[in-house]
Amino acid sequence: MALAARALWPGGRALAWGLGRRPPPGLLVQGQASFAGAAGGPGPAATARKGSPRLLGAAALALGGALGLYHTARWHLRAQDLRAELSAVQLSLSGRLQLTLYQYKTCPFCSKVRAFLDFHALPYQVVEVNPVRKAEIKFSSYRKVPILLAQEGDNLQQLNDSSVIISALKTHLVSGQSLEDIITYYPPMKAMNDQGKEVTEFCNKYWLMLDEKEAQRMYGGKEARTEEMKWRQWADDWLVHLISPNVYRTPAEALASFDYIVREGKFGVVEGALAKYMGAAAMYVISKRLKRRHHLQDDVREDLYEAANKWVAAVGKDRPFMGGQKPNLADLAVYGVLRVMEGLEAFDDLMRHTRIQPWYLRVEKAIAEAPR
């Protein structure tokens, strides 16, 4: 039954003005300068026609306004063209990929990957893995989920680890490099965890492998790139460890959580009944150990609330997402982790007692409205 429990706890600037911002001041000034040049001084025509200053002023105003509107519209249309070209390139790249995601639906790491795929309108098939037998991933020596199989032409690539999957696919969409080359940038490495157990870690997993121009186009500056990486890692290293202690906080919550896991997962009738009751009891006990291991407060809800408010403070009041006008990889990671609690008491408490709900709903809407 401890195995069953893993179902929820697995061990560019050039486009900116085309996205609703004001056009560069220089473009408006050009129209204003035309008006000022025509109306600012008397000139020969004004001297010859002293009796009609209003007519000259109206003509200058019309000319200046027309020039300003022309240049503004021209810039806006060009920005739209650039955005359409970029979207067409990404669509072309994504169309060449056939993706299959092996997952537990209630796993926060798998939910992160789905949030990324859905937001980027990448079509994929889902294979729900039985958390006890894992027969669906018997082809793989890597025994955790998510696993993503990516068919790219004649090449089939296996991508492991949620953050590697996201970084590799985003690198592919932005740079056009082949996944076969990209995955060599994220080599696996054996390491020992705090419990003395050998685990597989992946180097560079929060990095996108872009050249300077691609990175500038995507982030606009080093600060945005560093911020995104920092909070993606925070989602993996801290936020995800708050999920199990909160959804298994009490016997009733543990039973409700496993009822959801069995309903959404891939279990047989008998297997599902055993998982629901025995798994709930086991994870209630294990959640207490997790609370001690991660030094959580007596009421683990407080840690969850603090984490949510910390994230909201990092996003700030002046932007809808950490990524600015649209979610970045950190937004999608935090959203994906929290989404697995939907329908449970812990999620309702989180929405009620923190400031995270407006941001959460904005990300949800952005994913739902992504072009398909």
109 carries an active-site annotation: yes
Tokens 């000139």 locate to 43
35, 70, 102, 107: the catalytic one is: 107
Is the Cβ–Cβ distance between 354 and 256 less than 8 Å?
Answer: no
203 carries an active-site annotation: no
102, 110, 305, 360: the catalytic one is: 110
102, 104, 185, 219: the catalytic one is: 104
102, 109, 119, 267: the catalytic one is: 109
What string of H, E and C letters represents the secondary structure of the chain? Answer: CCCHHHHCCCCCHHHHHHHCCCCCHHHHHHHHHHHHHHHCCCHHHHHHCCCCHHHHHHHHHHHHHHHHHHHHHHHHHHHHHHHHHHHHHHHHHHHCEEEEEEECCCCHHHHHHHHHHHHCCCCEEEEECCCCCCHHHCCCCCCCCCEEEEEECCEEEEEECHHHHHHHHHHHHHHCCCHHHHHHHCCEEEEECCCCCEEEEECCCCCCCCCHHHHHHHHCCHHHHHHHHHHHHHHHHCHHHHHHHHHCCCHHHHHHHHHHHHHHCCCCHHHHHHHHHHHHHHHHHHHHHHHHHCCCCCCHHHHHHHHHHHHHHHHCCCCCECCECCCCHHHHHHHHHHHCCCCCHHHHHHHHHCCCHHHHHHHHHHHHCCCC
d(CA 87, CA 246): 40
104 carries an active-site annotation: yes
110 carries an active-site annotation: yes
Active-site residues, by number, are 104, 107, 109-110
